C-alpha cells in the first residue's frame, strides 16, 4: 500500500506571468475577472440544475420502491 512518502511529485516548469502580460498575450485583469465571474456563475447554474435533477429522480425512485413494498 502506498503512503504519502511514496508519491512522486512532478516539478512543473514555472514561468514569469508578468512577462506574459507584458507581451500582451493575456487580456487585462478586468476582462479576466469578468470571464471568471461568468464561468463561476455558469458552473453554479449547471451544478444546481444537475443536483435538482438527481434529487428529483431519487425521490421518484424512493416513491416507486415504497409502492412496490
pTM: 0.52
CA separation, residue 3 to residues 6, 7, 8, 63 (Å): 5, 7, 11, 44
Domain ranges of the chain: 4-68
Distance separating alpha carbons of residues 15 and 9, to the nearest angstrom: 18
* CA proximity to 35, closest of 47, 25, 43, 46: 43
Given a contact cutoff of 8 angstroms between Cβ atoms, the answer to whether 22 and 16 are in contact is no
Check pLDDT > 60 for residue 9.
Answer: no
Which pLDDT value is given to residue 15? 59
Q: Is 24 left (phi over 0), alpha (psi -120 to 50) or beta?
A: left
pLDDT tens track for 15-66: 565 666 666 665 667 778 888 899 999 999 999 999 999 999 999 999 888 8
Amino acid at each position: 500500500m502506498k503512503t504519502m512518502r511514496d508519491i512522486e511529485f512532478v516539478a512543473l516548469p514555472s514561468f514569469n506571468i508578468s512577462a506574459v502580460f507584458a507581451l500582451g498575450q493575456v487580456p487585462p485583469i478586468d476582462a479576466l475577472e469578468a470571464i471568471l465571474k461568468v464561468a463561476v456563475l455558469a458552473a453554479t447554474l449547471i451544478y444546481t440544475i444537475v443536483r435538482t435533477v438527481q434529487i428529483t429522480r431519487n425521490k421518484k425512485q424512493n416513491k416507486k420502491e415504497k409502492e412496490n413494498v
